[in-house]
Amino acid sequence: MVYKTKKKTLSFQDTIFNLQKYWSKKGCVILQPYDLEVGAGTFHPATTLRSLGPKPWKTAYVQPSRRPTDGRYGDNPNRLQHYYQFQVLIKPSPKEIKKMYLNSLSSIGINYEEHDIRFVEDDWESPTLGAAGLGWEVWCDGMEVTQFTYFQQMAGVECKPVSVEITYGLERLCMFIQNKKSVFDLIWNDEGITYKDVFHKSEKEFSAYNFEYANTDNLFKIFEMHEEETKLLVEKKISLPAYDQCLKCSHVFNILDARGVISVAQRAEYIARIRELTKSIGKVWIESQS
């Protein structure tokens, strides 16, 4: 498949459009972002839950991802507490997935024959999701632009068939395409709007919230409430609403972590609690799939 790459630099939003179009043509269901705070595209139920069970599934979507501890008040050119991932999940993993991926780079103006594209070992594990996979981070001239993972386990369950997950870090990728040193200088659209115009204020304010103002007493309580709710919903065997509640736990935990009020020992304990929730939800989901 040959993509015409226009002379002008691809904007942030065009990059998204092209990836959506590309994966749409590959038969993926193009979804919109999940409407809850999550740490990565993997947490979208279209990936976590759909990767479990025997039914084939192909999807692609943008997912705003929140990592409270990575906030830098908008001062650091490479770090954000809120950023975008473009996520592709295909089950079972197709034979020609590497070719599909490399062609997707062409669709956003990266000619893989002119760059040093490298598949560098990077095995992935998510303790909160009870998930693990083997794969690579993909380097383009030394810059990590994509995570490429074959799921082996999700929610504590062995994946059969195995899904492949491709996660593009959109900001990084665009910094590469647009040749920018700071994420805030990225061109968002053809009208000259920049990433800074859109997100700088938000980075600043959310960093303050995450690191300084988040009411930790309340958050601890909120965590307990969502945890309780998850357990109740698991008992009722409705996995999707249960998973929503679990995602909320996960995000609250992330803020508490950023606020520095969770000790190392406590940290392990909280992660284990969330993992238990995910596992119980995974079980209910699988039962509904066969």
Footprint on this chain of other proteins (rule: CB under 8 A): 76-79, 92-96, 98-99, 102, 112-121, 123, 133-134, 136, 140-143, 150, 152, 159-162, 164, 176, 179, 181, 260, 263-265
In whole angstroms, the minimum distance from the beta carbon of 198 to other proteins comes to 21
Q: Which is nearer to other proteins, 13 or 106 (CB)?
A: 106
Q: Which residues contact 266 (CB under 8 A, 6 or more apart)?
A: none
Q: Which is nearer to other proteins, 132 or 274 (CB)?
A: 132
Q: Where are any strands of DSSP class E within the chain?
A: 29-31, 57-66, 82-91, 117-121, 124-126, 131-140, 143-154, 157-158, 164-169
What single-letter amino acid sits at 277?
A: L
Nearest to 41 by CA among 32, 29, 52, 28: 32
In whole angstroms, the minimum distance from the beta carbon of 94 to other proteins comes to 7
Q: Which is nearer to other proteins, 122 or 276 (CB)?
A: 122
Q: In this structure, are residues 159 and 56 in contact, taking their beta carbons and an 8 Å threshold?
A: no
In whole angstroms, the minimum distance from the beta carbon of 179 to other proteins comes to 8
Q: In this structure, are residues 3 and 25 in contact, taking their beta carbons and an 8 Å threshold?
A: no
In whole angstroms, the minimum distance from the beta carbon of 34 to other proteins comes to 26
Rounded CA separation 284/139 (Å):
38
Q: Which is nearer to other proteins, 140 or 174 (CB)?
A: 140
Q: Which is nearer to other proteins, 159 or 214 (CB)?
A: 159
Nearest to 74 by CA among 210, 218, 199: 199
In whole angstroms, the minimum distance from the beta carbon of 272 to other proteins comes to 13
